[in-house]
Amino acid sequence: MDYGLKGKRAVVLGASRGLGAASAVLLAAEGAQVIAVSRSGKVPEGAAGDIKGRALDLSDQAAVAAFAPELAGAGIDILVNNCGGPKAGPARGQSRDNWQAAFDAMALPVFALTEAVIGPMTERGWGRIVTIGSSGVEMPIPGLALSNGIRASVAGWSKTLAAEVAASGVTVNMVLPGRIDTERVAELDAGKASKLGKTAEEVAAASRATIPAGRYGRPEEFAAAVAFLCSAPASYITGSMIRVDGGLIGSL
245 closest CA partner among 86, 89, 87, 138: 138
Strands annotated E in the chain: 9-12, 33-38, 51-55, 78-81, 127-132, 170-177, 241-244
Note the pLDDT of residue 53. Answer: 96
> Rounded to an integer, what distance in angstroms lies between the CA atom of residue 178 and that of residue 208?
11
Q: What number of CA atoms fall less than 13 Å from residue 29's CA on the CB side?
A: 15
Q: Which residues of the chain have pLDDT under 50?
A: none
pLDDT of residue 247: 96
- Strand, coil or helix: what is 181? coil
Choose among 155, 162, 158: nearest CA to 238: 162
> Residue 111 and residue 165: Cα distance in Å, rounded?
15
pLDDT digits (tens, 9 = 90+) for 53-91: 999 999 999 999 999 999 999 999 999 999 988 888 999
Residue type, 109: P
d(CA 30, CA 1): 10
Q: What is the pTM of this model?
A: 0.94
Helix spans in 30-144 (H): 61-72, 96-106, 108-124
3-state secondary structure of 95: coil
